[in-house]
C-alpha cells in the first residue's frame, strides 16, 4: 500500500463503506498546543492526537521525543478509534512531519494500513467539522518492531557501513547554527539530506520517481542499508516516509541528534562533508 493518500482519494474513501480512521496530528516544535486550532476546524470525524504526550515519551534520556510507552501509546490509539483491521490516515497542518511521526509509530507498532494525507489540512477542499467527536473505542494492540529502528551505536555503525541520512536543515548539519541542542554538527559519516527537499512548495511530496532519483544520488536505493536521523525523530520520520514512497526501506534513529549530542563522549563532525 502507498504510504500517502491524496485529498481526492481520501474524500472518496470517506464516502465509501469502509472509511478510514482520521488522526489530526497538528503540532509545532516548542509552540503552544494545537488543540484549539483542531477544535475550530478539522476533517470530519478526525480525532486530535498530541505528539508530545501521546506519540513520544518524556524528554530526557533518549532525546527530546523518544519512543512512547507502548501501553500508553496503544491506549491513546484505541481511544482515538484505531482498529487493527481498519485503515488509518494521519494529517497535520501541511508540513507533514508530525503526521509522518504518527504514521511511522503505527507502522512500527504493527498496524498494517496507515497513510499520510499528502499536503495535510491545506490540501483538503471538503467541509470541516468543529468540536470533538466521540469515536467508538478501537481494538488496536501494539506489536512493536515491525519497522527497523536505530540507537546511537547502530547509527554510528550504519554511517560507516551503509547510508545514514541527516534530515535536518543543511546549516544545522554543518554546525553553522544549532538553535535547540547542546552542540551543532552531525554524526560522522552521515550525509546531509534535508527532508524539506522532498516536498514541493505546497507541502506535497515530490513524485516517487523524483524522490528515487534524489535518494539514489545519495547512495540510498532498494537493497541498500539506509538509516535516517533528524533533531528528535519527527522530521526524520518524514524522510523515512519519502524513502518508502521512493521504494526504499529505511531505519529511523528515534533519539536522533538530541540523543547523540547529549553525550559529550560521542564524536561530532562539522562542515559540509560527512567527516
Is 230 a residue of the active site?
yes
Which distant-in-sequence residues (6+ apart) come within 8 Å of 40 by Cβ? Answer: 130
Residue among 7, 25, 82, 230 flagged as catalytic: 230
Spatial separation of the C-alpha atoms in residues 254 and 65, rounded to whole Å: 7
CB 84 within 8 A of CB 140: yes
Which distant-in-sequence residues (6+ apart) come within 8 Å of 235 by Cβ? Answer: 97, 167, 168, 195
Element (H, E) at 171: helix 170-174
CB atoms within 10 A of CB 141: 14
- Residue 109: helix, strand or coil by DSSP? coil
Looking at the annotation, which residues are catalytic?
230
Amino acid at each position: 500500500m502507498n504510504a500517502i493518500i491524496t485529498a481526492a482519494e481520501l474524500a472518496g474513501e470517506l464516502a465509501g463503506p469502509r472509511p478510514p480512521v482520521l488522526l489530526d496530528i497538528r503540532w509545532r516544535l516548542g509552540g503552544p498546543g494545537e488543540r484549539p486550532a483542531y477544535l475550530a476546524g478539522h476533517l470530519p470525524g478526525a480525532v486530535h492526537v498530541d505528539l508530545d504526550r501521546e506519540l513520544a515519551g518524556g524528554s530526557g534520556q533518549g532525546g527530546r521525543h523518544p519512543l512512547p510507552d507502548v501501553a500508553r501509546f496503544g491506549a491513546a490509539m484505541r481511544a482515538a478509534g484505531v482498529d487493527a483491521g481498519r485503515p488509518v490516515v494521519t494529517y497535520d497542518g501541511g508540513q507533514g512531519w508530525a503526521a509522518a511521526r504518527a504514521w511511522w509509530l503505527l507502522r512500527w507498532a504493527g498496524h498494517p494500513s496507515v497513510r499520510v494525507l499528502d499536503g495535510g489540512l491545506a490540501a483538503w477542499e471538503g467541509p470541516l467539522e468543529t468540536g470533538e467527536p466521540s469515536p467508538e473505542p478501537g481494538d488496536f494492540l501494539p506489536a512493536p518492531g515491525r519497522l527497523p529502528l536505530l540507537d546511537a551505536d547502530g547509527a554510528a555503525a550504519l554511517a560507516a557501513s551503509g547510508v545514514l541520512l541527516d534530515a535536518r536543515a543543511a546549516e544545522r548539519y554543518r554546525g553553522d547554527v544549532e538553535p535547540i541542542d547542546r552542540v551543532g554538527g552531525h554524526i560522522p559519516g552521515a550525509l546531509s539530506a534535508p527532508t524539506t527537499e522532498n516536498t514541493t512548495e505546497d507541502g506535497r511530496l515530490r513524485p516517487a520517481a523524483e524522490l528515487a532519483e534524489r535518494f539514489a544520488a545519495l547512495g540510498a536505493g532498494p537493497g541498500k542499508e539506509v538509516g535516517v536521523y533528524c533533531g528528535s525523530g519527527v522530521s526524520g520520520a518524514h524522510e523515512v516516509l519519502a524513502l518508502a514512497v521512493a521504494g526504499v526501506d529505511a531505519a529511523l534513529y528515534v533519539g536522533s541528534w538530541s540523543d547523540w549530542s547529549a553525550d559529550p563522549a560521542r564524536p561530532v563532525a562539522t562542515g559540509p562533508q560527512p567527516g
